Amino acid sequence: MNDIKTQILLILKEYSDVDLTQLSAEDSFASIGIDSLSLVEIIFDLEEHFDITIPPEADFAAQGFSLQSLDEIVHLVTSLCQQKS
């Protein structure tokens, strides 16, 4: 889990000028300057890096996931990595 979070933070670093080590679970991406266009790229990077397929938003929303904050992304990616293995 922590390893996945560390790897995700390295990807997010490319898209935000904010010190991500100070990021709290409640901070939304919008509040740290990551807009919807950057999120499209981040999803792409996550898929490439972890060799996973992040489903369309409507699908993962139906499973109770969202991609509005760091914790939510870590949760989704961890779940997808577990499914893969």
Partner 1 sequence: MNKSIVVTGMGCISSAGNNLAEFSQSLFAGSTNDCTNIAPITLFDPSELSTHIAAEVKHYHPTEHFNKAQLKQLDRYAQFSLIASEEAVNHAGIEFSSPLAARSCVVIGSSIGGQETIEQAYRQYYLQAKKRPHPFTVPKLLPSAASSQISMKYGITGPSFATSSACSSSGHAIAMAALMLRAGMVDVAIVGGAEACITLGNFQAWEGLRVLSNDTCRPFSADRSGLVIGEGAGSLVLETKEHAQQRNAVIHAELVGIGMSSDAHNIVQPLMQGAKNAMSAALLDANLQTRQINYINAHGSGTIQNDSTETLAIKALFQQYADKLYVSSTKAIHGHVLGAGAAIESIATILALQNQQLPATRNYRSADPLYDLNYIVNYPITTQLDYAMSNSFAFGGQNCSLIYKNVKPI
Question: What is the 3-state secondary structure of 2-46?
Answer: HHHHHHHHHHHHHHCCCCHHHCCCCCECHHHCCCHHHHHHHHHHH
Please choose, out of 5-13, 18-26, 34-42, 75-83, the segment that lies near partner 1 by the rule CB under 8 A: 34-42
Is 41 among the residues that bind partner 1 (CB under 8 A)? yes
CB neighbour class for 7 (10 Å; exposed up to 12, middle 13-18, buried from 19): middle
Residue among 27 and 45 whose Cβ is closer to partner 1: 45
Is 10 among the residues that bind partner 1 (CB under 8 A)? no
Q: How far is the CB of 30 from partner 1 (least distance, A)?
A: 16
3-class state of residue 5 by DSSP: helix
Q: How far is the CB of 15 from partner 1 (least distance, A)?
A: 8
Residue among 41 and 59 whose Cβ is closer to partner 1: 41
